[in-house]
Structure 1
Amino acid sequence: MGTRWVLISAATAVLMVGGVSATAMGPTVKAGAETAREKDCRATANSLPSSDKHIYLYTAKNCENAHGAKDDSGEDRDHGDSEGQIQKWDNNAGSLINHSDATVEFYTRTNYSDKGDRFCVRPGHYVTKLYMYGDGKDEAGNWSNSISSHREMKPDKCKRFFGWRVK
């Protein structure tokens, strides 16, 4: 009898061994004396108050640890400068949550430049691993640690969308 993994959902897979199955719930981390399931972007987004309307940027994948930057203004033309809500945090994002009510476009260049690359995230969506979307061709498509600016955008003006729905 063979062994095979069957995908049930993005969060749970079942290992089939003959007629017996064992559920794999993902990696675990020590929380004091207890073992807890690793937190991901969906769990993090669901833990935020509904009145909180920020975008959140994280250095690690899966929105792990505390966010490195957040913004509820709707735009920031340069994540690397000392202005706006995101300051001196250029090219650091490994994952993100759009907890705002607007579609947000992210850019690899400052000042919303179309000379780099860009993508949109709908309201209530998250991106767990920005590197998954990279194509390895110079700047275009290399999203992990490449976000330099963002702004609200009408969905019909977006070039492409990334992300998963929170609820």
Structure 2
Amino acid sequence: MTPPSSPYFFDSGVRASELAALDLTDVKPEGYVVVRHGKGGKSRAVPVERGTIKAIRLYVTTERDEDAPHRTLFLANGEPMARATLDKLLDRLCRLADLPRLSAHAFRRGFGVQYLRNGGDVFTLQRIFGHTSLEMSNRYALLNGDDLKQAHRRASPMRTVNGEG
């Protein structure tokens, strides 16, 4: 039995170690997961889409052994999924999809860039990621020229001055 992983990385932006440490009770039906052991020992609530909550629930009810002695959300062979197990899973999935190897951190980075492309702001991204400084979150804001033009079009003060807003 293989635990699902990539959609949760991409929808939440959590670190690999945070994903592996999630407990069954950390998934909240209100649309977030509780990261209890973030970097620096800090906890935070991370929003996720309703579809992700449903997929996690489906995994728990159909794939996860209900008699497992562990409360950890994601199991591999009945044991809490380790970071090395997650890396092996990602390697296997990339090979099956004929993709270059993607690290666990690539999902976090991808989430950050796509979040900003979709109109999210870097201050909210900082809270989602659990960063203590905005400088750290800005490292994820490596947008290309087209991204910058789109963002400018959405937020330019001239849009309202010229009656376009």
Q: Which has the higher strand share?
A: 1
More relative contact order, 1 or 2 (CA 8 Å, 6+ apart): 2
Same fold (TM over 0.5): no
Give the TM-score taking structure 1 as reference length. Answer: 0.22
Give the TM-score taking structure 2 as reference length. Answer: 0.22
